[in-house]
Amino acid sequence: EAGVTQFPSHSVIEKGQTVTLRCDPISGHDNLYWYRRVMGKEIKFLLHFVKESKQDESGMPNNRFLAERTGGTYSTLKVQPAELEDSGVYFCASSQVGTQGTQYFGPGTRLLVL
């Protein structure tokens, strides 16, 4: 069974540019999550989808971040315009239907904003 995949693995962009990150969850997992780790700090929750619906987006830092999950399969996270403080590792995770189960994480996308 394929795990959670993320694309790209790395991205280097300039301040003000736009970047779109993609996450493909494990097949059949209704729950999809985005987290990020900034500058070696703790990993922080961004948002949670159940199928195509946003269940919890309390961790989204501001309106420069837009997450979508059209069709309830893969998800994208767009940062527009990117700022220096957005640099970090963005993780995606998925879990089966239900609550508080094991979340399986992808390898992350390393974003560097110059």
Partner 1 sequence: SQQGEEDPQALSIQEGENATMNCSYKTSINNLQWYRQNSGRGLVHLILIRSNEREKHSGRLRVTLDTSKKSSSLLITASRAADTASYFCASFSGGYNKLIFGAGTRLAVHP
User: Do 4 and 106 touch, CB atoms closer than 8 A?
Assistant: yes
Q: Cα–Cα distance between 97 and 9 in angstroms, integer?
A: 27
Confirm or reject binding of residue 88 to partner 1 (CB under 8 A): no
User: Do 49 and 75 touch, CB atoms closer than 8 A?
Assistant: yes
Which of 21, 25, 69, 108 is in the footprint of partner 1 by CB under 8 A?
A: 108
| Cβ distance to partner 1 smaller for residue 84 or 97 | 97
Confirm or reject binding of residue 42 to partner 1 (CB under 8 A): yes
Per the omega criterion (within 30 degrees of 0), is the bond before 25 cis? no
Q: Which stretch binds partner 1 (CB under 8 A): 19-27, 44-52, 60-68, 72-80?
A: 44-52
Confirm or reject binding of residue 22 to partner 1 (CB under 8 A): no
